[in-house]
């Protein structure tokens, strides 16, 4: 089983990509909506939550971990690898950076939550991948609530997005990493503001590309993820809203499983 | 000591009112920002959090409890009174309703988080206070993030507020309860949209009025809150942001105390 966690619903974008691209590989999902959102909280706290979530997923049979939340990827991945050395840990920051480094000449934009931006993880990652590249990052803290509350496509959202994206627009970037699982829902608005010359990178797609390459290349890894087609969903706050939105996004009937954490 | 809790910073509006109106009465505050926000979470979960927060405040010496969060007031007060029968519990829903019932002819508006609106607590409360009155309630889920992110007074906020308030505007209400501790920060915007004939009610002020009346009338209660002028602040996520904003709002230097929970 592939264990996936996120602070809430956002990580389901990764699950959707896994369902489409790696059908037959089981997934157990944990949405930590009781403590959602992670974006503005401290690194120490997010690391503690990430460890608890991983312990839960391991107890549910997960052999490979996917951290589907950029804020947790930014803060907690080193601690998770140290704590669970037997478990391959995939996250959303590295694959998106690798893609940006591959397709750009050196001016890379990142939009993310306040927590992710303050961590400096994209700047550090890029400086080891391509030291001559420059990363321009911008926190967009209202994007998550705007998506969660269904304001995608509304003029207020477009206006708020313009305010957030203005500094990046003037930096002449070539690529823009959508550094939060919620942001692909605003892709059309963001693309319109940034213009056709800026290529948008969706970390969920890059992450699944990386997993897929490893499955082909590494037989032991492939064996770890025995073909087992189940999908199981857990949430720390078992709400009807979670089930309704997950069912809508994934196009399949989602019922939350016990236990909750 | 008066123990006050909220899901984060919002309850500091109540502390500010306590400092101004009941100086010399000690306050111990707990902001549960590690699990913020409460607004969209389930009633069962919020009740569990409220009990944990109250246990923490009792261990810190609180003799009287103030639930400064409307969502927790809506869901958890009955459970708190049952669990802690020795502790007077004050909350923000009842006093605001009593005020609305006293000054209106029967058409009362309420704006609040999704969780508070779905609880139906204002409708139930009003029907026992004034059965002939009608309550019109409206969830405004983006108000908290807009306030937290500093978008007060911006045109996007005004436009979002107009969308939320439109249904209430057409209901010809006489009073409007600002049913979330963050909403008084948007008072000017809300007043402008609703017009001068709608009276706005700030639950923090009504709550402190009620406490003050009881202190005058009830000597045993007064003795419980011995004159002890300290203010102590705790948060479940000890962030610099909490200290910075609390210092700004309260106009006094706020340093978070240990332990955090």
For residue A239, is it left (φ>0), alpha (ψ between -120 and 50) or beta? beta
Does B69 participate in catalysis according to the annotation? yes
| pLDDT tier, A260 (very low <50, low <70, confident <90, very high otherwise) | low
> What's the mean pLDDT in B129-134?
94
Read off the pLDDT of residues A3-52 as tens digits, 9 standing for 90 and up: 999 998 889 999 999 999 998 899 999 999 999 989 889 999 999 999 99
Quote the pLDDT of residue B100.
96
> What's the mean pLDDT in B128-141?
95
CB contacts under 8 A, A 10-39 vs B, are 33-35
Phi, psi of A28 (to 5 degrees): -115, 125
A97 by DSSP, 3-state: which?
helix
Number of Cα atoms under 13 Å in the Cβ half of residue B133: 28
Q: Is the pLDDT assigned to residue A241 strictly greater than 90? A: no
> What's the mean pLDDT in A239-254?
90
Q: Is B149 on the interface with A (CB under 8 A)?
A: yes
Quote the pLDDT of residue B240.
86
Structure tokens at A130: 């391509």
Distance (Å) from the alpha carbon of B151 to chain A's nearest alpha carbon: 10
Read off the pLDDT of residues A183-203 as tens digits, 9 standing for 90 and up: 999 999 999 999 999 999 999
Q: Which of A57, A69, A108, A225 is catalytic?
A: A69
Across-strand partners of B201? B177
Does B180 participate in catalysis according to the annotation? yes
Q: Is the pLDDT assigned to residue B66 strictly greater than 90? A: yes
Burial class (CB in 10 A: 0-12, 13-18, 19+), A78: exposed
Cβ–Cβ under 8 Å, residues B28 and B61: yes
ipTM: 0.86
Read off the pLDDT of residues A169-178 as tens digits, 9 standing for 90 and up: 999 999 999 9
Structure tokens at A181: 């699982």
Quote the pLDDT of residue A1.
93
Q: Is B48 on the interface with A (CB under 8 A)?
A: no
| pLDDT tier, A249 (very low <50, low <70, confident <90, very high otherwise) | confident
Distance CA B112, CA B141 (A): 8
Distance CA A177, CA A112 (A): 8
Closest CA to A27 of A48, A13, A47, A46: A13
Quote the pLDDT of residue B133.
95
Axis-axis angle for helices A70-83, A121-129 (nearest 10) = 70
Quote the pLDDT of residue A27.
96
Q: Is the pLDDT assigned to residue A139 strictly greater than 80? A: yes
> What's the mean pLDDT in B50-55?
98
Read off the pLDDT of residues A70-106 as tens digits, 9 standing for 90 and up: 999 999 999 999 999 999 999 999 999 999 999 988 8
Q: How far is CA B88 from its chain centroid?
A: 17
| pLDDT tier, B260 (very low <50, low <70, confident <90, very high otherwise) | low
Quote the pLDDT of residue A40.
83
Q: What is the DSSP string of A48-87?
A: HHHHHHHHHHHHTT-SEEEE--HHHHHHHHHHHHHH-TTS
CB spacing of A45 vs B160 below 8 angstroms: no
Please name the residues in contact with B143: beta carbons below 8 A apart, sequence gap of 6 or more: B111, B161, B164, B180, B182, B183, B186
Distance (Å) from the alpha carbon of A156 to chain B's nearest alpha carbon: 5
Cβ–Cβ under 8 Å, residues B142 and B206: no
Place of tokens 């857990």: A234
Q: Is the pLDDT assigned to residue B229 strictly greater than 80? A: no
CB spacing of A40 vs B146 below 8 angstroms: no
Q: Is B162 on the interface with A (CB under 8 A)?
A: no
| pLDDT tier, A239 (very low <50, low <70, confident <90, very high otherwise) | confident
Q: Is A52 on the interface with B (CB under 8 A)?
A: no
| pTM of the full structure | 0.90
- Pick the residue of B32, B33, B45 with the most A CBs within 10 A to test the interface with A by mutation: B45
Distance (Å) from the alpha carbon of B167 to chain A's nearest alpha carbon: 18
Size of interface A-B (CB pairs under 8 A): 53
> Which of B41, B155, B238 faces A237 most closely, judged by CB atoms?
B41
Q: Is the pLDDT assigned to residue B227 strictly greater than 90? A: no
CA-based nearest residue in chain B for residue A140: B149
Cβ–Cβ under 8 Å, residues B200 and B191: yes
Buried b / exposed e across A112-150, counting CB within 10 Å, b at 16+?
Answer: bbbbbbbbebbbebbeeebeebebbbbbbbbbbbbbbbe
> Which of B45, B156, B237 faces A159 most closely, judged by CB atoms?
B156
Q: What is the average pLDDT score of chain A?
A: 94
Quote the pLDDT of residue B261.
61
Distance (Å) from the alpha carbon of B211 to chain A's nearest alpha carbon: 32
């Amino acid at each position: 089983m592939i264990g996936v966690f996120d602070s809430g619903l956002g990580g389901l974008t990764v699950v959707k990509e896994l369902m489409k691209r790696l059908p037959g590989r089981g997934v157990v999902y944990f949405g930590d909506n009781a403590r959602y959102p992670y974006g503005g909280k401290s690194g120490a706290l997010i690391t503690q939550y990430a460890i608890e979530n991983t312990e839960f997923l391991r107890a549910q049979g997960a052999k490979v971990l996917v951290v589907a939340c950029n804020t947790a990827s930014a803060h907690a991945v080193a601690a998770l690898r140290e704590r669970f050395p037997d478990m391959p840990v995939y996250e959303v920051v590295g694959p998106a950076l690798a893609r940006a480094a591959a397709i750009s000449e050196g001016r890379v934009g990142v939009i993310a939550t306040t927590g992710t931006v303050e961590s400096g993880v994209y700047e550090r990652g890029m400086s080891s991948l391509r030291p001559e590249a420059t990363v321009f990052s911008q926190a967009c803290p209202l994007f998550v609530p705007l998506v969660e509350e269904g304001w995608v496509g509304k003029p207020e959202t477009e206006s708020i997005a313009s305010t957030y994206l203005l500094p990046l627009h003037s930096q002449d970037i070539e690529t823009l990493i959508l550094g939060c699982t919620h942001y692909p829902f605003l892709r059309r608005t963001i693309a319109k503001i940034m213009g056709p010359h800026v290529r948008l990178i969706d970390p969920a797609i890059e992450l699944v590309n990386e997993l897929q390459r490893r499955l082909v290349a590494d037989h032991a890894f492939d064996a770890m993820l025995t073909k087992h087609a189940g999908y199981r969903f857990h949430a720390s706050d078992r709400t009807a809203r979670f089930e309704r939105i997950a069912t809508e996004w994934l196009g399949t009937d989602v019922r939350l499983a016990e236990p909750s954490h």
